[in-house]
Every structure is written in structure tokens, then in C-alpha cells.
Amino acid sequence: MDSNDKRLAALRRLLAEAHEKLGLKLGFRLWDGSMVPEAWPQDGLGIAIADPGVLAALLRRPKLDTLLNLHVSDRLAIINGPTSASSARIRSILAQTLALARA
């Protein structure tokens, strides 16, 4: 098992524990396609994490701006939720909002 596999396994354990202890009503789809918790349905409400850099970005800069940028760039997404059908529109609005905020 290489270091990337070890990090992924550690993240799975962390998310599984958070899911259990906090009683979360959503799952997590990781960049390798796995779900946490493992038995979470593929069509259930969840958060998709596109790559390990998402977590690094949130740890380096835990701000709303970071979260919005990750969502706009499609690296962090809500899946199978009420926003799934309009996620492209939401990303567009968020991108415009971020552009205005930086101007």
C-alpha cells in the first residue's frame, strides 16, 4: 500500500467515524469512486470530493471563499440533492458572485 492509498484509507476512516458520531444524513463519494459509508446508496444524497487537493485546500484556507471556489470548479459537489438538477446554474451564479466580490 503506497502513501496515497494510506491517506485515502485514513480519510475513509475519518469520514465513516464522523458519519456515525454526527448522524449525518448524507454520504461521501471520493475521487476513486468509493462511497463513505460503504453501504451508502449510489443515488443517495452526498458530497462528491473530486481529488485529494480539495481537502488540502480546505485545510490550508478554511474559508467560505475556498468552499465556493471548489464548488464552482466542480471539485466539490452536492450529488443527488435538490440542487443536482440546477448545479450548472448554481456554479454560474457562484462564479459571478466571486468575480464581483474580488472586483
Q: What is the pLDDT of residues 76-98, one digit of tens each?
A: 988 887 654 556 666 666 666 66
SS3 for 25?
A: coil
Torsion of CA 40, 41, 42, 45, to 10 degrees: -80
- Residue 45 one-letter amino acid: L
Q: What is the pLDDT of residues 1-42, one digit of tens each?
A: 788 888 899 999 999 998 898 888 889 999 999 999 999 988
Specify the DSSP element, H or E, that contains 23: none
Write down the pLDDT at residue 80. 85
Task: Say whether pTM exceeds 0.85.
Answer: no
Cell of 72: 464552482
